[in-house]
Amino acid sequence: MIKILKNYKLEDVLSRKIDDYSEYEPTVRAIIADVAARGDEALRFYAEKFDGAKLDGLEVTAEEFEEAENSLSEELKAVIRQSAENIAFFHSRQRREGFEVEREDGVILGQKFTPVAVAGVYVPGGTASYPSTVLMDIIPARIAGVKNIVMVTPVKADKKVKPEILYAAKVAGANRIFKTGGAQAIAALAYGTQTIPKADVVVGPGNIFVALAKKMVYGLVNIDMIAGPSEILIVADGKSNPVFVAADLLSQAEHDKLASAVLVTDSEKLALEVQAEIERQLLAMPRETIARASIEANGRIIICEDMQKAVDIANAIAPEHLEVCVDEPMELLPKILNAGSIFLGRYTPEAVGDYFAGPNHTLPTGGSAKFSSPLSVDDFVKKSQYIRYTPKALEKAAPGVMKFAECEGLYGHANSVKVRVDKA
């Protein structure tokens, strides 16, 4: 049963201990080194070792795309296309333009945005299938202007990528898809192989081996984030429907046993009603075992004085998903400082953000919303700044530049200015 807390310490509400994954690190390092050395041969070896897939070719063929599309219902394909349109509509507003200014002395200063050449997208391929993540991770890259979007995903012994994954990738705009997963897939994107091109940025969720591999190759490539267990925090007043609130808490608890679901309310009555409703709804859930384990280990209902205090608690926790279940949620929005994605009002369940609304569902977890952001178009572009000085402008700036360089003991820097001014 979910715990109700009246007297609490905030640090005890959502325990976020730094996990020690050192036992996995030697394995991941060895896999990365092997892929860097042997390329495709290593990928085929690990596909058979870990997934039971004896692969002749790594790349998904045109025939496989066609077969996947033909196997899906028209209804599901229409839903995937509509979701893609919504995601594109939102992310197209994220495109940024550079700037250029020319000062009176003729100096030109500017900044420009350039998409990366190759984006690598990792899509998990375990027991669950997430075509929504395919859309969320590929569409921002396409909108950013990336010309080559490469997707990797593991397959089982049947050597097939799930058809909804392939169709979503086609709709989103992936250029090529390869049958490889785990740490070896991340290594392939980071180093390149005989078949898979080297990426400039790697995005997408995965298990601990994927997460560790992304950490280890960061610097060789850029990465989006290291995603942890899913989280939801709901701020709700006494007028909220306990059935709605319980359902939303359980929507995250069913992800895995490490997921966390927290309700913060100023109503003890609502707290008790939600506690009872969670028990009732759990009995009808196909993933009851997982959801119950999550609720009992990481679920909390916090009773506080008022909505301002509830927002303060939310800001301190900085959840991945934050629902604000009050009549006038826009009044609280300016006070919310730390959250991955914010769901406003009583009829905006987190699930609409997962699948359909348009904003990205690849979000910072573990409190990292205090300093990081959802996946966006920005993850697939890089900024360059540029400077142009005229001879007169350099002559004017020279004394200051040279003084600063000499202050730091970098006389070569000072001289690079001096020789130009002396010549003039």
Helix (H, G, I), strand (E, B) or coil at 21: coil
Q: Does residue 179 contact residue 53 with C-beta atoms inside 8 Å?
A: yes
Cα gap 146→332, rounded to integer Å: 37
With beta carbons less than 8 A apart as the criterion, state whether 179 and 60 touch: yes
Closest CA to 99 of 112, 83, 117: 112
Q: Which of 164, 231, 277, 321 is catalytic?
A: 321
Taking the alpha carbons at both ends of the chain, their separation in whole angstroms is 80
| Residue-wise DSSP of 164-215 | HHHHHHHHHT-SEEEE--HHHHHHHHHH--SSSPPPSEEE----HHHHHHHH
The catalytic position among 273, 320, 323, 350 is: 320
The closest of 288, 296, 290, 240 to 264, measured between CA atoms, is 240
Report the DSSP pairing between strands 176-179 and 148-153: parallel
What would the DSSP string read from start to end of 222-246?
EE-----S-EEEEEE-TTS-HHHHH
* Cβ-Cβ contacts under 8 Å for 161 (sequence gap 6 or more): 60, 64, 68, 125, 153, 155, 177, 179
Contact at 8 Å (CB) between 307 and 266? yes
β-strands 381-388, 108-115 pairing = antiparallel
Q: Catalytic annotation on 321? A: yes
361 is catalytic: no
Tokens 């990365």 — which residue?
32
Is-contact 301 263, C-beta < 8 A? Answer: yes
Taking the C-alpha atoms of residue 215 and residue 221, their distance in angstroms, rounded to an integer, is 10
Spatial CA neighbour of 184 closest among 158, 202, 171, 167: 202
Give the span between the Cα atoms of 303 and 268, in whole angstroms: 6
Give, for 265, the enclosing helix (H) or strand (E): strand 260-265
Q: What is the DSSP letter of 94?
A: G
Residue 145 Cα distances to 35, 142, 152, 204, 360, angstroms:
29, 5, 20, 18, 18
- Catalytic (active-site) positions: 320-321
